[in-house]
Structure 1
Amino acid sequence: MFFDFVIDIQQFTTLTNDAERLLFRIGALCYEDSRSVGAIAGVAVAIIFTWKLLGSSNGHQRRQPKRQTPAASSSTYNVGLNSSEPLISSGVCSSSGDLRAHNVVDEFFQPVKPTLGQIVRQKLSDGRKVTCRLLGIILEENSPEDLQKQATVRSSVLEVLLEITKYCDLYVMETVLDDESEKRVLLALEDAGVFTSDGLVKDKVLFCSMENGRASFVRQLEPDWHIDSNHDIISQLARFIKYQLHVAPIKHERAASNVYCSPSLEQFFGNI
């Protein structure tokens, strides 16, 4: 760049000397014939030419300092490098902010765990009427003979039972051998808090003296679901009832496509 600047100075000096010689010659011509119109025109052209020549040379010289020297270029590079640091950190902050926003969105759209009531309605396919056996499902006892001694409501089934009564018209039934067994069953249900304003109604606790009597109750009530622990009763009712749940500790072969199996009522609804 310094070498170019020296060449420009030399060119400017040469142009200036040429302009001076031209002016000198024109002046001499004017001296010889000052009254000549051509001389006067020549003087004017020479002045204009010299002014333009000097103006372009000065403009070229004024623009020369704008050329960046190596030192200036290095300084500019350093400044640019330093100025990029806030941009980089800003990008990091922006990435962190995007990550936090992404996490918030993920948390917001995470699947909400359904409530037991929602599960009950989904499992029962919005069935409105349900019939259910007591022994082995709601009660701890497994036979009519056991009811002659005691009746105990299974604590693990209470929550599910109450949810069913909220959304369905529930009837429970059992085979008993005497009136005392009926009283024990009703007392056990009452002590467990099943008989509430939103719960089971005493009039919907049915008793019979034979297993076939329970099947007759179910057919007369025509429920959407029947829940039983007796495989024979399930098989008999398979073609009359829309859905059935066979509750048994040992898995049996399904009596029909509309019959479901589960070790317990609460496990069927996922409330273990």
Structure 2
Amino acid sequence: MAETSKDELVQLIRKFGAYLTVKFSNIFSISLNNMNSRSLGAIAGFAVAVVFTWRLLRTPRGPQRRIQKRQAASSSSSGLPSQTNTTSTSSGVCSTSEDLRAQNVVDEFFQPVKPTLGQIVRQKLSEGRKVTCRLLGVILEESSPEELQKQATVRSSVLEVLLEITKFCDLYLMERVLDDESEKKILQALEYAGVFTSGGLIKEKVLFCSTENGRSSFVRQLEPDWHIDTNPEVVSQLARFIKYQLHVTPIRPERTASNVFSSPSLEQFFGSI
């Protein structure tokens, strides 16, 4: 039944193709110059659609014969005389195989293209062109200015996202420090990690201050599209001045404003891990 329906549809496509061939030949014989690029594009697109439909509906004769032979051999070895059941089973298996094959072709043809990390970053940042970000707890492993007096370590998991941001955003990094040695340790850690080699971020865009309010002042002066911070008080203070903010915190807080988002880390916000 399924085979008859497919044959009828194939014959219909052939007749329709012959009809179109006559029509197109008449059109071309009248005046080829009167057809514009859109008409030719429509004809080409229709031809591709017909070919694709034909390939989907084409019945694989080889596998069907092999399936029938295997079913017949199985029936004869078991001593069952029912040829009707064998034919019905073979037809059902073949039909299922054809349906799966057609579905696989369609799924492969329409399989969505996975976006790149750069595309995800641009989408998440809503095409924002300027970003400010604190260092402690976001870019660096350390979480307090006291720890920076001993060492500064760049989180390896955040590097890929950070470099993607610098490709199309004007990025400023900032942090509260207790002494000049802490500043040097931070710059050395960033340089060693290769943050400055991409060309999107320079040392002059790494800002230091002595208070949390000083960081808030930096952000307000720079007027970024996004600010990334771990301090809930700073995030709350800047909510009415900055278009978007990302609050990096291990504990998901209650959303205080519609323009404030939260995530356990910068890289998780962009889905890179």
Instruction: Give your verdict on TM over 0.5.
Output: yes
Greater mean alpha carbon deviation, residues 246-255 or residues 167-176: 246-255
Q: Select the structure of larger CA radius of gyration.
A: 1
Partners of 1:212 and 1:91 in 2: how far apart?
74
1:159 is matched with 160
Partners of 1:118 and 1:211 in 2: how far apart?
33
1:118 corresponds to which letter in structure 2? Q
What is the SS of the residue equivalent to 2:198?
A: coil
Partners of 1:96 and 1:148 in 2: how far apart?
68
| Structure 1 residues 80-100: Cα deviation after superposition (integer angstroms, max 9, x where no partner) | xxxxxxxxx999979856643
2:228 is matched with 227
Partners of 2:118 and 2:180 in 1: how far apart?
35
Partners of 2:199 and 2:93 in 1: how far apart?
57
Runs of 5+ unmatched residues, structure 2:
1-89
Matching of residue 197 in structure 1 with residue 192 in structure 2: no
2:172 is matched with 171
Correspondence list, 1:1-272, <5 A:
99-272=100-273
What is the SS of the residue equivalent to 2:178?
A: coil
Partners of 1:265 and 1:160 in 2: how far apart?
8
What's the TM-score once normalised by structure 1's chain length? Answer: 0.64
Partners of 2:114 and 2:195 in 1: how far apart?
26
1:151 corresponds to which letter in structure 2? A
Partners of 2:121 and 2:198 in 1: how far apart?
19
Whether the 8 Å contact between 2:129 and 2:170 is mirrored in structure 1 is: yes
1:247 corresponds to which letter in structure 2? V
Q: Hey, which bits of structure 1, 4+ residues long, moved more than 4 A?
A: 89-99
Whether the 8 Å contact between 1:234 and 1:255 is mirrored in structure 2 is: no
Partners of 2:186 and 2:93 in 1: how far apart?
69
1:5 is matched with none
- RMSD over aligned Cα atoms: 2.3
**Identity within the alignment, %:** 83
Aligned residues: 188
Greater mean alpha carbon deviation, residues 195-204 or residues 133-142: 195-204
Partners of 2:103 and 2:232 in 1: how far apart?
53
Residues 95 and 226 (structure 1), Cα distance of their counterparts in 2 relative to 1, 3 Å cut:
same
Residues 150 and 98 (structure 1), Cα distance of their counterparts in 2 relative to 1, 3 Å cut:
same
Whether the 8 Å contact between 2:170 and 2:200 is mirrored in structure 1 is: no
Residues 91 and 150 (structure 1), Cα distance of their counterparts in 2 relative to 1, 3 Å cut:
closer
Partners of 1:252 and 1:97 in 2: how far apart?
52
Q: How much has 1:203 moved relative to structure 2?
A: 1.1
Q: How much has 1:199 moved relative to structure 2?
A: 3.4
Whether the 8 Å contact between 2:133 and 2:229 is mirrored in structure 1 is: yes
What is the SS of the residue equivalent to 2:146?
A: helix
1:213 corresponds to which letter in structure 2? G
1:57 is matched with none
| Structure 1 residues 220-259: Cα deviation after superposition (integer angstroms, max 9, x where no partner) | 1000000000010001000000000000112222231110
Q: How much has 1:193 moved relative to structure 2?
A: 0.8
Q: How much has 1:167 moved relative to structure 2?
A: 1.6
Partners of 2:256 and 2:182 in 1: how far apart?
31
Partners of 2:212 and 2:235 in 1: how far apart?
12
What is the SS of the residue equivalent to 1:260?
A: strand
1:122 corresponds to which letter in structure 2? Q
